[in-house]
Structure 1
Amino acid sequence: MTAELITDARNATGESPVWHPQENALYWVDIPAGRLHRWQPDGQTHHWAADEMLGCIVRRQQGHWLGAMESGIFHLTAQADGRLVADKRTSVEHARPGMRFNDGRCDRQGRFWAGTMQTNMGAEPVGALYRYDATADATVKPMQARLDRLIVPNGMAFSPDGKTLYVSDSHPSVQLIWAFDYDIDSGTPHNRRIFVDMNQHPGRPDGAAVDAEGCYWICAIDAGQVLRFTPEGKLDRALPLPVKKPTMCAFGGPQLDTLFVTSIRPQGIDLSDQPLAGGVFALNPGVKGLPEPIAGG
């Protein structure tokens, strides 16, 4: 199966692809540039720049977005002049200086989950997962009691019924994916267990998505692949990419049967063997995905 380059974005760290069905468009971010990008199937691309690094995004109603950035959760509005207006909804107190939000997505009820990490990829387990529920008290709640000692939280995804939460830690010293039972009424995870030990597979676990059959797709960063695992944690499929560092995948297209993948363009190294690094790719995975929930509030 051949991956199609849809745009040679040359993102330093492309992440958080989200399909927007009403616009027939794919959105994603370039984290260090603080940019929100949009691609449409006719080849048109646009981007908007914020004043902080932008870790991940989720959709809101009426064309707006929520973004987890460096200092908290923001309501984002793209302006015609290329600015991304960021209105802070809630702050977060990081465990260390030099931290930011990284991977995130909504649960099936519209609660926004996002994890924090040290920007320099330090090995201290000071990252945490936070839950933001705009329909409740509009505050960000750390879930460290159940999701503690994380270094680079990643790979967040929810099963089709919303009752299983998946989380990975992509740091080289960890490389695990966990599954949790998830209480859809209270929005709390419990019964943490290892779902996949990525030390037994190529690459480190980065961003992820769940398809309509309940299987978990994870970007294997450094291995240039996207891997599909069954709900039992069995490797079912491996799709190759022309870049070494895929970062996150998302289902999109009018039928939700395209798997879009963002990637990293490493700085200061020879890229002659992967000139498309930092691009965004499309794959035909042979299964359909699920619509991404809209953030509540």
Structure 2
Amino acid sequence: MTAVEVAVREYATLGEGPTWDTAAQRLIWVDILGSRIHTYDPVTGRRTVMVTEQHVGAAKPRTDGGLVVNLRDGVGIYDFTGFRWLHRDVVPGRRGNDAAVAPDGSLWTGTMRYDEARGGGTLSRIAPDGTAATVLDDVAVSNGTGWSPDGRLMYYIDSPTRSIDVFDVGADQLPINRRKLASVDEGFPDGLTVDADGCVWVALWDGGAVRRYTPDGELDRVIELPVLRPTACAFGGADLTDLYITTARTGLEAPHPLSGSVLVVPGAGKGLAQPAFAG
């Protein structure tokens, strides 16, 4: 049986977006509805918590230090000077959700309406200089985004579709030729990560598990979890072999005691070093 351990015991309302910060050797994750950015050093056990003024969908490290964040009203930067907006895009009833950094250092940001209405969300590419381009504009709940080890494929999840989709990456680094990699029949696919073998690991909201799919879309591993609502996963640790999983309590009448905590599966596989945002 796969050993699932507790990395960070917490009561996050909507824990999300685990990201291994290679430079600082720490895990970054957020509580979206709690408006908090957390960090965790698994070697020392040191934790930090920063409160944001808006709901925060994701926080990623920057090459120049600090964090780039996907907030309710757009994308901003926290660094030694404080906070500044990089790209502001205010849409009433909408907030930022999951985000990912592409191999070229650009930030791919998802949005969604609070009521999760179809077509109310987007997926956009934010260049290092803050220039934004909407890539998908008919999204309900924009979630997991990731790239194959060679950068030729992009994986994407719009959760209510229950589909994990794959695109080819065009010469301009934009996705083309969308098709289905796999469908989920238990729960809803949420956040994802891609490992060194090119396999896609997906957290299942309301499915109580993380699944691993091969590049051909075959299900080859399931990690059952004690919580109903895992939200996302990422490899971390010095050798990138530990799988960290964020979880949520929101919407549950009787959440498991570990709901809202960060779980970890030591030695689950071999991850890829994630690039920092180049802006």
Provide TM-score, normalisation by structure 1: 0.89
SS at match of 2:48: strand
Distance 1:208 1:104 in 2: 11
- 1:176 — aligned with what? 163
Q: Among 266, 271, 274, which residue is 1:289 paired with?
A: 271
- 2:188 — aligned with what? 204
Please list the CA deviations of residues 92-148 of structure 1 after superposition, one character each: whole Å capped at 9, or x if unmatched: 253xx2101111101111110011101233x332211110011xx5221111xxx34
Point out where structure 2 has 5 or more consecutive residues left out of the alignment: none
SS at match of 2:149: coil
Q: Structure 2 matches for 1:1-297, cutoff 5 A? A: 1-41=2-42, 42-77=44-79, 85-94=82-91, 97-121=92-116, 123-134=117-128, 137-143=129-135, 147-171=136-160, 174-183=161-170, 185-198=171-184, 201-267=185-251, 269-271=253-255, 274-297=256-279
Change (3 A) 1:93 1:182: farther
CA apart distance, 1:63: 3.1
CA apart distance, 1:176: 1.2
Change (3 A) 1:286 1:55: closer
CA contact (8 A) 1:104 1:113 kept: yes
Structure 1 moving runs of 4+ over 6 Å: none
Q: How many residues align?
A: 277
CA contact (8 A) 1:128 1:153 kept: yes
Q: Higher strand fraction: Structure 1 or Structure 2?
A: 2
Distance 1:262 1:19 in 2: 13
CA contact (8 A) 2:68 2:277 kept: yes
Q: Let me know the Cα RMSD of the aligned residues.
A: 1.6
Distance 1:186 1:93 in 2: 27
- 1:82 — aligned with what? none
CA contact (8 A) 1:220 1:246 kept: yes
CA contact (8 A) 1:11 1:279 kept: yes
Distance 2:144 2:267 in 1: 18
Identity of aligned residues (%): 35
CA contact (8 A) 1:125 1:151 kept: yes
SS at match of 1:104: strand
Change (3 A) 1:152 1:285: farther
Provide TM-score, normalisation by structure 2: 0.94
